Structure 1
Amino acid sequence: MTGHTPPPATTTALHEKVDALLAQMSLSEKVEMMSGHGFFAAMQEDDRVWGARPYRTGGGNERLGLTPLWFTDGPRGVARGSSTCFPCTMARGATFDADLELRIGQAMGIEARAQGCNFSGAVCINLLRHPAWGRAQETYGEDSWHLGVMGAAMGTGIQTHNVIATIKHFALNSMENARFKVNVKADERALHEVYLPHFKHCLDAGIASVMTAYNKVNGEYCGQDRVLLTEILRDEWKFDGFVHSDWVRGVYKVYGASAGLDIENPEPLVFGDNLVKAVEEGMVEPYVVDRACRRILTTQLRFARRQDPLPTYGPELVACEAHRTLALEAARKCAVLLENDGTLPLRRDKVRKLAVLGALAALENTGDNGSSRVRPPYVVTPLAGLRRMLGEEAVLHADESDLDAARAAAAAADAVLVVTGYTAKEEGEYILGDIALGADKKPRGPSLSPTPIGGDRESLSLPSAQVALIKAAAESAKPVVVAIVAGSAVLVEEWREDAQAILMSFYAGMEGGTALSELLFGDVVPSGKLPFTIARDAAHYPHFDRDADEITYDLWHGYTKLEREGIAPRYAFGHGLSYTLFAYSALVARVAGDAVEVSVAVRNIGDVTADEVVQCYIGAPAVEAERPIKQLRGFTRLTLAPQQTGIARFRIPLDSLRWRDPASHGWRLERGAYRIYAGGSSQSCLTTSIEV
């Protein structure tokens, strides 16, 4: 952190050190710490390639030897150099494996350090309200509890290697095209029960920083919203780290500093000289600047005094074998088997020739081209993975551009794989042209180009050409397996009867093709579970307008909405088949002190070893206030050999069962009979009840 003295060893010494540093700094030096610097020039020099270098995003004072915050993005890997590309965040959400996410976070922390970064934006925990959201792939799913657990694992993993993690985007950011203008209205219950708990979960786990969102909440931009940044984040949650804006349009008024924004990124377009002047003229109190700098310095010094787990962080650690192996593990665990009539796993002795259809089968397609883009040293496509496993001669390829060729390939094969889904053109961060973000001039917002990519999806269905390809494959009367590459739910109604098996494979990272081949042929047993609900009809989801100026978020979305309305999904939240079957029994629950303790027995009644994601839901009495029928409050993975029984145990804090009372602006635990659910999905559970 400093080049003069070692970091302070105790909390008292740390605060004394911060006070001493602030006493030596002028107002302009302090304000300089409250913004990024050099971003526009760097982007110009780097031909607008995002992540070509670390970005200075606040902090630092050369005169006093203080190191700045050097930022890298990276929900699916470090967005620098040629880093390991993991499956996208949504795919990792489907693993329901917090330990795996912790290890991936540690790998990202190592690769960030090895590439000159000490500040990471990899933890995206915005709630998936509607599957059309373009950046759904960057988050973990639709359930707040699941988001909190997985995000905390990622963030604490990153911080293991003394890289400061930030959680984003605070708050209620789940639309892309309208993100710079939309006003999201939410009442107190929706805000505190649905859209904020996962942020608090991560901060309680020790995540040290928060990035604000672009949108407005209840009429005010998040980057200058005193309710969010001070009343909730500081006063109620007692967060003591620093808060920074998203890039370029993250704050509009100098009063954002008074509201609780500590750093404007990536340049001082609003703070800087304007903030100095506001302090000098009495419009902003001097303590506001001191407070922001104290938060920044305290956080940096706290990390600087910790010992590094590794002796050095050299370039050889970037995309090293251990991290590539971790990417493969994640790709194996994330795939969700949606349907299977027994066609899968394919057998090598019976499938001598495999038709692999679809342009996406041969495309390096790891996710969108926005700020989360990773440029790995290689990408194994589905086609490459299968040819590596089966041999070049055994794999036939055609795509939707020539249906006759596709029919011929299917007719000549013993089985057919159709790879479908999307690319960065159909969904992802909404980018007008390349990521300019002001690099070609010094604007108040991103520079524009007439060719947008990404953004919110226009449709929840597959492109018509891909549907035609599936139907052409089905004409062969050969077994048809459909793999879906996407960031969230895809409707399947118009073609699902043409397929014998459907696999949600997501944007599966640099080793995705390797994992897919292993899953199809049974070398690996599918174990992913849906982190979102797939409906039968787009009308079953909440209202979504990707060009909205204003929208209301209420308590209901995903599985809680469908269950409330008595609508059966096509595939429930938590759904995922296996190549074996699991039997649940002996569900037991009791109140023990300040928690509910739950256990359930799970037996593998098939003939292959496999993982099962066991889920625990709780339903409140819902007499004092309407509540969801059930809400996820625990999940764990069990690896079970054939005929082996394992016990899944959960300890659920009573505090997590409370509801927000708008009358008192506090939390209430309702007394009465609670329903306990445990099973393999939100719709397949054993149930019991307890008195709380």
Structure 2
Amino acid sequence: MRLLSSAGLLLPLTALTAALTDTPFLGFPSPWLSPDPNDVEWQTAYDKAVAFVSQLTLTEKVNLTTGTGWEADRCIGKTGSVPRLNFEGFCLMDGPLGVRYVDKASAFPAGMNAAATFSKRLIRARGEAMGEEFRGKGIDVQLGPVAGALGRTPQGGRNWEGFSPDPYLTGVAIAETIKGIQSRGVIACAKHYILNEQEHFRGSIDVRIDDRTMHELYLWPFADAVRAGVGSVMCSYNKVNGTYACENEWAVNYLLKNELGFRGFVMSDWGAQHTTLGSALSGLDMSMPGDIMGPPNSPQPPYGSHWGGALTQAVLKGEVPQWRLDDMVTRIMTAYFRINPTIIPPNSSRPKPNFSAWTQNTTGPLYKASNRTWTTINEHINVQSNHSHLIREIAAKSTVILKNTGILPLPLSLDSIAVIGNDAQDPPNGPNACPERACITGTVAMGYGSGTTDFPYLISPATALSHRCRQSNITFLNTTSNWDLPTARAVAADSSLAIVFAAATSGENFVSIDGNAGDRNNLTLWDNGDELIKAVAEVNNNTIVVLHTSGPVVIDYAHRHPNISGIIWAGFPGQESGNGLVDVLFGDVYPQGRTPFTWGSTLQSYGVELMTVAADPRNPTQEFPEGVFIDYRHFLTPGKGREGDVTYAFGHGLGYTTFEYGLLAVGREGVWPGYGAAEGRTDAAPVVGEEVEGDEVERWGPPGGWEGWRIPRYVYPWVNTTVFNSENGTAKAPAIGDFPPEARDGGAQGLLPAGGKEGGNGGLYDVLFWVSVDVKNTGEVEGVEVVQLYVSLGGPSNPSIVLRGFEDVAIKPNETKTVKFELTRRDISNWNTDTQNWEITDHEKMVFLGSSAMDLRVNSTLEIGQRIVQPGSGKP
């Protein structure tokens, strides 16, 4: 009997079972959609979906759940269609910072840069602009944004695709991005669910995690994504407590669909599905890319897919209940109608794909894998609009000034500027010369792998600085090599100011740079960057360091160096990289960027390890012994981090003026509403449309003449009667007896205590406290202060502080503004593994406000029943 993916789950199961009397078998069955008349928007979409699905045949339903195969159509992922109803299959495309593999689309700043703005407005605007571009290309689903990897280890290859190792910041950012994308009629896909925290062993690693860490850290931002109404979630490659994520009944059924109330559809990462029955019964709704992605020319199992005809067969045999298939399709169509509420019938006003993901030639094969049907496949539609302005604004406002001794902003009276380093330069063969951006020949403006896109153009720092120097009559000097240190010294010594550029990138593990297989091997700068910085600083006492990196690097030596007057982190700023940087350097744009991660003084200071070697490489197992203590939660908690381990704190960033924090007020938000466990039962699982019978096998075979027009390697939904009657009709499928009866139980189910609404129990989002603070600009220029609110949850098992609010506020000189925050029940709660619910513990709760996690200006205690708490100051 399977229980919560069996081995490794650290839960008090006796107490858990007692708390879940209405859910006798944890994780089964897969929750289905039920009506919710109290949510008009969702209910309307659900009703439309049911009406549409009720018209579909068995094989048409399977078609919408199964991809047609890798390179089998024009998109990275494409489901089958319903030609009878003139409904085109769904087109899915990477990625989290723009449309991958197309021309005439924008290259946006990376997710970590969006987070570094600490601006909800800019994060939302970025989502809206990306949504417009995906929609303009005829794409239904954008494969992004990213909350996994969250950023457990600073070396994580795909951390830059997401936002921050802080779950609160990532939660806000993913929610705002989703709202922006979906407001433009494109389904957002939150990924990679869940614990996909490194690229080494990503397809086999078994992550063992305890329940509390899962809830308070890694699941937290996905709850925000669900609450934002995200239409789809992509499950990840790794295992969770013994079972692959895409067929993990605890992760998908129990946590995502039941506790978090997710109403959209779960798709597999490409090749992350491993079985027919296990994935279907454990909550997967869409198989991507549809075929089984083995080595080239490897033998394909029956049907060439875990689903397609294999899923049709499983339904006919009773191995997958029809209600489960119906729920898959209803979820897909509900997500579609929810973000396209005016589309009736479902194909009207819906743009079709006008590109091919496999070539930018105008003509080519519509079905690349089989080289069939040559036609016009790229219409070269320009979807960039005026998004370059937003990209430049985010590039500037995500730029973080880590160190400034007074040299910034740069004066126009400078005599000369020397720009030094490969990372400042135009890529010699163009910005897209390296496939998947897997090189560092020239400036780095995004990471590498499937999270990339093609640059329509790339403004390098050298180009932008050269242009600005010409405008201001400043002599511009430039040297490109990171290894020719004598020339670098000579050029730097000859200039009144030297700006040295260095980079460290990362990405996905199907490509590698200098032995960095996705994850970074260390936290040093690449391409001799550290030595270049030291060489320049030896000879020029006005040295500025600019870093394009996928996360923190060890830069403590530069922080302490007396000749290094400024250190700037520019991250991965996208196509307007150089322009955004110059805007900040010369003070045209106020630098509001704040680092979304901590800069440790050594790799070891982070207290976590990247797993690069496994005792059993075929079945590697990884524990997360640090629990909730990652990034600043580790560094700032006594007994975890050590004094001197932090070079730059989480949330740190310098500006061009100063701010003073004044009156702090804390109060209760009226009368606290009571919080109770969710109660009640769902409806029974509905069968939508015609109920099929298992003895109708011939009815669901391929149509007559099929062999004459069949597309090789294309995944079809029809049953093969020979396979149907054999013993191995479904690929790698566990036997029907491997699952408990509860896995197929379509009867009414009880709600989980922490569930009931999208994002979890609705009471979690009741506002319990308001917090306000007066902030005054005491400098001479208008500036933006990023006011950050941290909470101490108290008790020995909690971090010293956790982020629970932020606002970016523009304030004029000598002006004071009052900045107000709201704290919800969720914000001040911990997860109780016994009751499987959130609770406010008896430990003292405090709030701290300031400019970073290590620059906390005022604080106060949160007192239940006390109306106002007077201001205080200090640190936790």
TM-score calculated relative to the size of structure 1: 0.89
Moved more, 646-655 or 145-154: 646-655
1:653 is matched with 824
Q: Which residue of 2 aligns with 1:529?
A: 594
Alignment of structure 1 residues 8-407 onto 2, 5 Å: 15=46, 17-42=48-73, 53-58=74-79, 60-79=81-100, 80-126=102-148, 127-268=150-291, 269-306=305-342, 318-320=383-385, 322-349=386-413, 351-362=414-425, 363-391=442-470, 393-407=475-489
Report the secondary structure of 2:790's partner residue: strand
Residue 16 to residue 428, structure 1, CA distance change in 2 (3 Å): closer
The worse-fitting range, judged by mean Cα deviation, of 14-23 and 566-575 is: 14-23
Tell me if structure 2 keeps the 8 A contact 1:71–1:119: yes
Q: What's the secondary structure of 1:602's corresponding residue?
A: strand
Say which SS state the counterpart of residue 68 (structure 1) adopts.
coil
Distance 1:496 1:256, change over 3 A: same
Match of 2:500 in 1: 418
CA separation in 2, counterparts of 1:376 and 1:341?
35
Partner of 1:688: 860
- Secondary structure of the residue that 1:145 maps to in structure 2? helix
In the alignment, what sits opposite 2:794? Answer: 621
* Kept after mapping to 1: 8 A contact 2:445/2:548: no
Determine the C-alpha separation between the residues in 2 that align with 1:12 and 1:129. Answer: 38
The one-letter code matched in structure 2 to 1:223 is C
* Cα distance in 2 between the residues matched to 1:56 and 1:456: 25
Does the 8 Å CA contact 1:255/1:284 hold for their aligned counterparts? no
Larger radius of gyration: 2
Tell me the distance in 2 between the aligned counterparts of 1:60 and 1:238. Answer: 28
**C-alpha distance in 2 between matches for 1:58 and 1:618:** 45
CA contact (8 A) 1:431 1:453 kept: no
Q: CA deviation at 1:24?
A: 3.9
- Name the stretch that deviates more: 632-641 or 492-501: 492-501
Shift of 1:492: 0.6
- Higher deviation after alignment, 196-205 or 270-279: 270-279
Look up the SS of the partner of 1:459 in the other structure: coil
What does 1:473-484 correspond to in 2, within 5 Å? Answer: 473-484=536-547
Q: Please state how far the C-alpha of 1:257 moved relative to its aligned partner.
A: 0.8
| Letter aligned with residue 262 of structure 2 | F
Residue 631 of structure 2 is matched in structure 1 by: 558
Q: 1:323 to 1:16 in 2, by over 3 A?
A: closer
CA distance in 1, matches of 2:537, 2:44: 71
Partners of 2:264 and 2:171 lie apart in 1 by: 18
Q: Give runs of aligned pairs for residues 579-594 of structure 1, distance below 5 A.
A: 579-592=656-669, 593=672, 594=767
Decide whether the 8 Å contact of 1:430 with 1:452 is kept in 2: no
Matching residue of 2:567: 502
Structure 1 residues 430 and 672: CA distance shift in structure 2, 3 A: closer
Deviation larger for 228-237 or 160-169: 228-237
Q: Which of the pair is proportionally richer in strand?
A: 1
Contact 1:534–1:572 (8 Å) recurs in 2: yes
- CA separation of 1:114 and 1:339: change in aligned 2, threshold 3 A: same
Structure with the bigger RCO (C-alpha within 8 Å, sep 6+) is 2
Deviations 1:483-504 (A, max 9, x none): 1101111111244334221101
Structure 1 residue aligned with 2:768 = 595
Question: For residue 440 of structure 1, what is the aligned residue in structure 2?
Answer: none
Matched letter for residue 556 of structure 2: E
Aligned pair in 2 of structure 1 residues 10, 171: CA closer, same or farther (>3 Å)? Answer: closer
CA offset at residue 260 of structure 1? 0.3
Structure 1: segments with no counterpart, 5+ residues = 1-8, 43-52, 434-449
Residues 106 and 158, structure 1, Cα contact 8 Å, conserved in 2: yes
The Cα of 1:377 is off from its aligned counterpart by 1.8
Q: Is the 8 A contact 2:591 2:655 kept in 1?
A: yes
- CA–CA separation in structure 2 for the residues paired with 1:222 and 1:247: 13
CA distance in 2, matches of 1:598, 1:11: 33
1:451-462 aligned at under 5 Å gives the runs 454-462=517-525
- Is residue 319–residue 376 contact of structure 1 (8 Å, CA) maintained in 2? no
Matched, 1:567 2:642: yes
Pair 10,550 (structure 1): closer, same or farther in 2 beyond 3 Å: closer
Secondary structure of 1:67's counterpart equals coil
**How far apart, in 1, do the equivalents of 2:793 and 2:514 lie?**
49
**Gap change, CA 1:262 and 1:187, over 3 Å in 2:** same
Give, as a single letter, the amino acid of the residue that structure 2 aligns with 1:417.
I
RMSD (Å) for aligned C-alpha atoms? 2.3
Distance verdict in 2 for CA 1:82–1:567, change over 3 Å: farther
Q: Name the residue aligned to 2:845.
A: 674
Identify the residue that residue 428 of structure 1 maps to in structure 2: 507
Instruction: Write the distance in 1 (CA, Å) between the matches of 2:405 and 2:786.
Output: 21
Q: Which residue of 1 aligns with 2:528?
A: 465
> Who is 1:643 aligned against?
814
> In structure 2, how many angstroms separate the alpha carbons of the residues matched to 1:312 and 1:584?
51
Shift of residue 638, structure 1, vs aligned partner = 0.6
Q: Is the 2:231–2:264 Cα contact (8 Å) retained in structure 1?
A: yes
Q: Which amino acid aligns with 1:110?
A: E
Give the letter for the 1:74 counterpart: G
Quote how far apart the aligned CAs of 1:453 are: 6.5
Partner secondary structure for residue 500 of structure 1? strand
How far apart in 2 are the matches of 1:497 and 1:683?
Answer: 18
Distance in 2, matches of 1:343 and 1:38, equals 56
Partner of 1:46: none
Residue type of the alignment partner of 2:793: A
Query: Equivalent pairs: percent with the same residue?
Result: 31
Letter in 1 for 2:662: S
Please tell me the residue identity of whatever aligns with 2:83: E
The answer (yes or no) to whether the contact 2:104–2:381 under 8 Å persists in 1 is: no
2:424 and 2:462 in contact (8 A); partners too: yes
Code of the residue aligned with 1:581 in structure 2: it is T
Counterpart secondary structure, 2:89 = strand
Shift of 1:146: 0.6
- Alignment check: 8 A CA contact 1:182 1:215 kept: yes
| Alignment check: 8 A CA contact 2:273 2:279 kept | no
**Letter paired with 1:176:** E
- Tell me, yes or no, if the aligned pair for 1:418 and 1:481 is still in contact at 8 Å: yes
Which residue pairs with 1:513 in the alignment? 578
Q: Deviations over 1:206-263 (max 9, x none)?
A: 1111111111111111101111111111221221111101112344443201100000
Cα deviation, 1:440-475, whole Å, max 9, x if unaligned, reads xxxxxxxxxx99775000011123721221121122
**Greater mean deviation of Cα atoms: 563-572 or 101-110:** 563-572
The CA deviation string for residues 416-450 of structure 1, in whole angstroms up to 9 with x for no partner, is 00100124xxx1111248xxxxxxxxxxxxxxxx9
Match of 1:409 in 2: 491
Cα distance in 2 between the residues matched to 1:219 and 1:659? 26
1: CA distance, partners of 2:663 / 2:281: 55
Q: Is the 8 A contact 1:432 1:451 kept in 2?
A: no
Q: Distance in 2 between matches of 1:379 and 1:572?
A: 31
Mean CA deviation greater in 574-583 or 491-500: 491-500
Question: Does the C-alpha gap of structure 1 residues 19 and 674 become closer, same or farther in structure 2, counting only changes over 3 Å?
Answer: closer
